[in-house]
Amino acid sequence: MDGSRGQTVSSGFREQTRALLLKNAVLQKRNYCTNICIVITPLIFSLVILGIQFAIDTLFLSNDDFKCGCQCTKLKVRWGTKKEFDLQDYGGEDFPDTLEADGVKFRPTDLYSENTRGISCLLKNKNKCASKYSTASQVAWCPLESPNQIQPTLQMPKSQYRATDGLDANACGKGHSGDPRNPTKEAHYADDPARCPATLLVSSNTASAAAKQSLLDGLGEPSQLTDVSGDSENPLLAMIEELNKLTGSDQEAAAAANKTSTRRQRLASNDGDGDQDDGEDDKSMQSRFEGMTMESIQQMFSLSSQMWSAIRSEVGQLGTTLERGITRFTQIELSGDDVDFYYAKCDKLPESLKTALFDLGTNSGTGPLLCVDKNVHETSGFDAMRRMLYNGYGYGAMESNTIKRGSGVIRQYVGAIDFADADPSAKGGKFNLDIMYNGTTIEEEGGDGGPQSYWRDLTELQNMATRSFVKASIERVSGSKIRGDHVPARYMYTREMPKQGTSLRLEFSTFLGPLFYTWLLQILLPIMAGQMVQEKENRLRVIMRMHGLGDGAYWLINLGYWLVMHMLYSAMVLGFGHMVNISFFTMNDSGVMYMGFLMFSLVQMATAVFITSIFSNARSASTFCVVLLLATGLLGEFLVSPYIESHEKGNFPSAALWIVQLIPSFGLYRMLWEFAQYSFLGVYTNEFGITWDIVSSDNSCHVAPLLGLFALETAVIMLVSLYVDQTFATGGGVPKHWLFPLHMMGILKPPSGGSLLADDMSSSIGPSGMDVEGKVLNRQKSADTDDVAEARLHAESQSLGSTECAIVMKQISMCYPARGGMPPKVACDSLSLAIERGECFGLLGPNGAGKSTVINMLTGLMSQTSGTAYVENMELGLQMTDIYKLMGVCPQHDLLWPTLTAAEHLNFYGRLKKLVGAELKAAVDEGLAAVNLLNVANKRVGEFSGGMKRRLSVAISLMGKPKVVYMDEPSTGLDPASRKALWKVIKAAKKNTCMILTTHSMEEAGELCDRLGIFVGGKMQCVGSPRELTSRYGGFLILNILGPAEMMDSVSNFMRSLARGARRTYALGGLSKWEIPLSEANLSATFSAIEGAKSTLKIDDWSVSNLTLEEVFIKVCRDAGIDTGSID
C-alpha cells in the first residue's frame, strides 16, 4: 500500500507507539493536578513523619533523664528565708561541699542523686555536662573516656535466697513462701547472715576417681593464707591504707565509719534483707569524690584496680549481688552502697584483713566486702544441673511451682560447671567444659537479665574451672600440692570500650517506617490500575484497537509512562526523606534504597496489569487496590514483622518466611524492615547503615535476595497478566484461544472459524440446528426468501483472493449461553452475506433483533459461535490485528477523551493510519471541515454538545480513508441541517470504502444505503435496494380515510365493496388505513368512487399513495411475528 490519502496504509509498531505517546503526553499534561499531587505525596508523608518525630522529641525525649547531666549553677531549697543559691556568689567552679539554709545544712551534690532532699535546680550550664553531674539514670548517657578495669565476679545470691543443697535445710533460715522480700531467718548464721554458704553445682564424668576429686577440690579449696595483721609490708594492706588517704577528709571518714558500723549492725540482725535501706540516705557516687582533684581520682582508681587484683590473688573468687541490667557496663566499682561485694573463701582469712576489706568499701565506693562460705555440690549431670539452676530462680521457680509446693523456697545457685569427661591425668590432658549460669533475677524485684551478663558471670566461672584443671594438672606432674594463687592462669579484668556522650533517640521512622513506607510506595497501584481499567471500562482501549493500535504498543507506552512516574516518585520519596532529615533515609545508602524501590515498582506495575486484566470496572479496581494497600501494610506490621523477628532468633523457618514474602507487598515490607534495622544501628553506632558492600557480602542482609525475588516476580506476574489479558473477555474485545502462545510459536495450528475462546457457547447448538432446549433454529435455507437465498448463495460462493467483496460472512451464528435460569438466546442465526467494496449496506431491524451482535462480531468485540467471516480476505478472529489496521468505526456511543481537543483526536487516529507531517495536517483539517468542526478544532471535547461529539466520531471513523467502516446510528442527536450535511460526507466517503450502517431512520437508510437488509429475530428477512424493497413489498395502494368514528363500519363496508382484498391495517377514532391490492384497484376508479361516497360517508379527508420504506419495514417485522404496535 502506498502512502496516499486516498488509501489506508497500515501503521507499524513505531508509528503506533509514537501516536500513543504523543496522545498520552497531552493527556498527562492536561492532568497536571493529579500528577502534582502524586509527586508531592512523599513530601506530605515525610512532613507527617517529621511532625510525629518532633512531637516525640519535644514531649518525651526532651526529658533530662535521657541525657548526660549538666552542672547546676543556680539551685533552690524548699525551706528557709533564703531559698536560692547562685554559683557566681561562691567564685568557684562548683558549689562548696555543704551549704546552709536557716541552720539546715545540705549538700548541693544531692541534686544529682535519686533523692534530692527538697533541693531543685533553677539554672543549668548546658556546656558543662559530665557523670559527676548526673543521676543514676543519666550516667549511662555520659562520655566514658577512660573506662575502669571491671573484675570478673560471681553472681552471688542474696543470703535469704541461697540454695542449701548438701547442707542443713535450715542453715540459712527457712526461706520464704510467697513474699521473697520477707524471709525468715534461723540460728546457724544469725550472727553473720551474709556468710550463709553460696552453692556451686558441679558434675564430672571423668573415669579416674582421683582426677575427678582433684578437679572438685580445686573449686572448693580454701586459701592457704597466713596472718598478716602485724605485717606492715603486706601490699594489700598498704594499698588499702593509701586508698583511704585519697578518699577524703577526717569528717568524711568519721561519717563513713558511722555508716559502716550501722551496716554491720544491720547485717548481723535478723531482718534478713541485706539490701534494705537502713534509714540513712546513701551518698551519691559523685559525692564520694568531692574536693578531690582529677589526678587524685585517677590515682585512686589506679590503686583500686591493683587492689582488686591483690584481693583476688589473696582471697580467691569475688561475688556481687549487683542486679543484672543493661546499664551494668558502667563503672562497676561505683555501683552504690546498697550493693554487696563478697569474697568467696573465709576459712583462714586473717581477721585484720577481713576488717580492712569490710571497711574499705565505704571509702572506695564499692560497698563493703563481705565473706561468704562457698559450698561445692556435686550433681548427677548436665541435665540435672540445668533443671536445678533454672527452677531455683525467679521465673523458673514460678513456672515449676517451687514457691507453692514443698518447702516453698527459692533456691538460687552461684552457677554450674560440668567437667564432662575432662581428665587432667590423661596423657596430654583432656579439657572439656560446660558452664551454665541463670540470667534471670527475682521476679518480685523487677530484675532484668541484660546482654552484659556473661562478662561477669561466665568469665569468673570459667576462670575457676580453668584454674582448677590447671592446678590438678600441675599437681599430677609435680606430685605435690600447690596453692591456688600460685596457678599461672587467671582472668584479670574486662574493660569497656571508651565511648562518646550520647542521648536517647527514638527514631519514629525506624519503628513504624516499614508500615508507613509500605503504604507510601504502593499509593501508585490504585491510581495506575484505576486509570487503565477506566480506559477499558469506557471502551477507549477497544476503539483504539479497532483503529489499528496493537497491544504491544499499548502496553509499552502505558508501562513506560508508569515506569517514569515510579522513578520520579521513588526519587521524591528519597529526596524529601533526606530533605527533612529522616534517619531511615540519611543513614542508608541512597543507591541501595532507590534500587529496591525501583525493583518493587516493576512488580507493582506487573500487578497493576494483572488487576487491569481481571477487572472491567474502574471503581471496583481502585477500591480493591486501596483495600489491598491498607491490608498488606497492617498485616506486614502485625504478622510479617513478628515472623521476621522470630526468624532472626531462629524460631521461624526460613523457607516459611520466604513463602510469606512471595506476596510482593510482604516482600516490600521485609525490605523496608531491613532498611529500618540498618538505620537504627547506624543511629546508635554513629556509623552508616546499609551499603552496597553489605548487600553483596553480608549473608545476614536479605536485600539482595529480595531484589532477585522482585525481578523474578516481575517476569512471572507480567507474563501471567498479559496472558490473562488476551484470553479473558473483560471488556477488551474478543479473547484469544487459551492455547494462543502455542499457535504463535507454530507448535499448534489455530482453529479455523468459529469461536476462538471456548466451546461452551457452540455446545448450546447441536449439529442439526437444535439448541439445548430442542428449539428449532431457523437455519434451513429452504425457509429463506428468494432475495435472502440469493444473497446467501452469492456469499457462500466467494473464494479468498478472487472476490470483489470487502466483507464476506458465511453462516456466522451467535448464541448466548444460558444464564440465570434463562435458556440460550440465538442472536444471529446462520447469516451469509457479502458486501462489495464501495457499497454502503444498511442493516435495519427492531431493538433486540441482533444488529449490534453482527456489528460486534465484525468489529472483534465478540466472537461468533460458528461460521466464518472475512474482511479484505483476512479471516475474522484469526487476523484481527491486520483487520483493525483497515477499519474505521463510529460506535453507537461516542468514545472520546474529554480533555483532548477535536484536532488532537484526529491527529492521534491519523498517526495510527500512518499519516505524518503536512499530509496529517491536511487530513485533520479536511475531516474537521467536513463535519463542520473546524472552527472548534482546539476546543476540548468535554465542552462539546452531543451533536458535535457525534460528528467528531464520524470524522474519526473516516480518518485515513479506511477500507471498511462500521457506522452505528451515525446521525443520532443531530439537527436536520447537520444530518443533511453529514449524509453528504458519508456519501462521499463510501465511494472507496465498504460501509455497514445501522440506523432507525428509514429516510437515512434510503438516502445513504445501496442495499438494505432487515434483520429480525436473529435472521435476515429480506435483502435489496430501497427501491427493490418498496417495489417488492409495495403491491398495494395505501388509502387513508378520516371521518366520524360512528361511520367506521360504513367505511369498512364501502372499502370491501371497492376491493375484496382490501385490508385495514390501522384504525384509531375516525382515522383508518387500508391496503388495496393493485390487482383489484384502478387508480382513477378509486378516486371516482371515494369522491362519490364522500358526502354519504361524511369523509373529512382522504389520501392515496404507494408503500413507503418505513411501511415495508413494519410489514416485514409484522410478518416475522414482531408486535408492531410500538413501531407504528
pLDDT, one tens digit per residue, over 626-654 is: 999 999 999 999 999 899 988 888 888 88
pLDDT at 648: 84
- Sorted by sequence, the CB contacts under 8 Å of residue 1093 that are 6+ apart come out as 1054, 1099
Please give the Cα distance from 18 to 26 (Å, whole number): 12
pLDDT at 249: 40
pLDDT in tens, 482-522: 765 566 666 777 777 787 777 777 777 677 788 888 999 99
pLDDT in tens, 866-922: 889 999 888 887 888 888 888 899 988 899 999 999 999 999 999 998 898 899 999
* Number of structural domains found in the chain: 4
| Residue 586 DSSP code | H
Which of 629, 163, 184, 621 shows the shortest CA–CA distance to 411? 163
DSSP string covering 69-118:
-EEEEEEEESSSS--EEEGGGTTSSS--S-EEETTEEE-GGGGGSS--TT
Domain assignment present for residue 632? The answer is: yes
pLDDT at 472: 81
Provide φ and ψ at 345, rounded to 5°: -130, 120
Are 137 and 233 within one domain?
no
Task: Tell me the pTM.
Answer: 0.66
Mean pLDDT value across residues 573-577:
90
Are 417 and 546 within one domain?
no
pLDDT in tens, 1045-1103: 888 888 888 888 888 778 887 788 888 888 887 777 776 777 788 888 888 888 888 88
pLDDT at 338 over 90: no
| Better pLDDT: 419 or 3 | 419
Grid cell locating 1110? 418505513
Please, what's the largest Cα pairwise distance for the chain? 169
Please give the Cα distance from 301 to 206 (Å, whole number): 43
Q: Which amino acid is at 570?
A: S
- Sorted by sequence, the CB contacts under 8 Å of residue 486 that are 6+ apart come out as none
**CB atoms < 10 A from the CB of 1111, how many?**
21
Domain assignment present for residue 530? The answer is: yes
- Sorted by sequence, the CB contacts under 8 Å of residue 648 that are 6+ apart come out as none
Sign of the Cα torsion 653, 654, 657, 658 reads: negative
Are 264 and 386 within one domain?
yes
8 Å CB contact between 816 and 805: no
Q: Residue 410, SS3?
A: coil
User: Of the given ranges (535-539, 837-841, 1030-1034, 1088-1092), which has the lowest mean pLDDT?
Assistant: 1030-1034
Please give the Cα distance from 194 to 272 (Å, whole number): 9
User: Of the given ranges (268-272, 407-411, 925-929, 973-977), which has the lowest mean pLDDT?
Assistant: 268-272
Are 616 and 694 within one domain?
yes
Place of cell 549492725: 265
pLDDT at 714 over 60: yes
Grid cell locating 199? 552453692
Are 534 and 469 within one domain?
no
pLDDT at 1111: 80
pLDDT in tens, 363-391: 444 445 566 666 778 888 888 888 888 77
Domain assignment present for residue 181? The answer is: yes
Are 194 and 156 within one domain?
yes
pLDDT at 284: 37
Q: Of 63-77, 665-679, 776-790, where does the model show the most confidence?
A: 665-679
| Better pLDDT: 758 or 346 | 346
Radius of gyration of the chain (CA): 50
pLDDT at 370: 64
pLDDT at 200 over 90: no
Domain assignment present for residue 1000? The answer is: no
pLDDT at 824 over 80: yes
| Better pLDDT: 638 or 480 | 638
Are 198 and 116 within one domain?
no
pLDDT at 255: 42
pLDDT at 337: 39
pLDDT at 726: 84
Mean pLDDT value across residues 671-688:
84
pLDDT at 145: 76
pLDDT at 295 over 70: no
| Residue 943 DSSP code | G
Please give the Cα distance from 388 to 381 (Å, whole number): 11
pLDDT at 250 over 70: no
Which of 830, 601, 603, 803 shows the shortest CA–CA distance to 720? 603
Are 209 and 343 within one domain?
yes
Are 155 and 227 within one domain?
yes
pLDDT at 443: 38
How many residues are recorded in the chain? 1128
pLDDT at 119 over 50: yes
Paired sense of beta strands 154-155 and 318-320, if any: parallel
pLDDT at 1124: 59
User: Of the given ranges (236-240, 570-574, 709-713), which has the lowest mean pLDDT?
Assistant: 236-240
Domain assignment present for residue 612? The answer is: yes
User: Of the given ranges (128-132, 307-311, 592-596), which has the lowest mean pLDDT?
Assistant: 307-311
Are 117 and 225 within one domain?
no
Domain termination residue (choose one: 141, 169, 186): 141
Are 398 and 356 within one domain?
yes
pLDDT at 335 over 50: no
Sheet holding 415-418, edge to edge: 374-378, 198-203, 415-418, 434-436
Please give the Cα distance from 1123 to 1128 (Å, whole number): 10
Report the percentage of the chain scoring pLDDT > 90.
22
Domain assignment present for residue 163? The answer is: yes
Paired sense of beta strands 341-343 and 119-129, if any: unpaired
Grid cell locating 491? 582472668
Domain termination residue (choose one: 116, 141, 166): 141
pLDDT at 287 over 50: no
Three-state secondary structure of 443-463: HHHCCCCCCCHHHHHHHHHHH
**CB atoms < 10 A from the CB of 295, how many?**
8
pLDDT-derived band at 673 (thresholds 50, 70, 90) equals: very high
Mean pLDDT value across residues 762-783:
41
Residue ranges making up the domain that contains 1067: 1035-1106
CATH of the domain at 1052: 3.30.70.260
pLDDT at 270: 34
Distances (CA, A) of 170 to 196, 391, 750, 804: 10, 20, 95, 119
Mean pLDDT value across residues 933-955:
92
Mean pLDDT of the chain: 76
Ramachandran region, residue 563 (left: φ > 0; alpha: ψ -120 to 50; beta: rest): alpha
Which of 662, 671, 661 shows the shortest CA–CA distance to 640? 661
pLDDT-derived band at 699 (thresholds 50, 70, 90) equals: confident
pLDDT at 269: 37
Mean pLDDT value across residues 86-107:
85
User: Of the given ranges (66-70, 346-350, 428-432, 671-675), which has the lowest mean pLDDT?
Assistant: 346-350
Domain termination residue (choose one: 453, 477, 495): 495
Are 398 and 541 within one domain?
no
8 Å CB contact between 251 and 98: no
| Better pLDDT: 591 or 432 | 591
Mean pLDDT value across residues 764-786:
46
8 Å CB contact between 544 and 7: no
Which of 237, 204, 1056, 959 shows the shortest CA–CA distance to 544? 959
- Sorted by sequence, the CB contacts under 8 Å of residue 1052 that are 6+ apart come out as 1064, 1072
pLDDT at 381: 82
Domain assignment present for residue 238? The answer is: yes
pLDDT-derived band at 808 (thresholds 50, 70, 90) equals: very high
Distances (CA, A) of 559 to 38, 72, 570, 605: 17, 64, 16, 7
Distances (CA, A) of 171 to 159, 168, 191: 10, 5, 12
Containing H/E element for 119?
Answer: strand 119-129
pLDDT-derived band at 207 (thresholds 50, 70, 90) equals: low
User: Of the given ranges (127-141, 272-286, 603-617, 856-870), which has the lowest mean pLDDT?
Assistant: 272-286
Domain assignment present for residue 483? The answer is: yes
Report the percentage of the chain scoring pLDDT > 70.
73
User: Of the given ranges (291-295, 589-593, 1022-1026, 1063-1067), which has the lowest mean pLDDT?
Assistant: 291-295
pLDDT at 731: 61
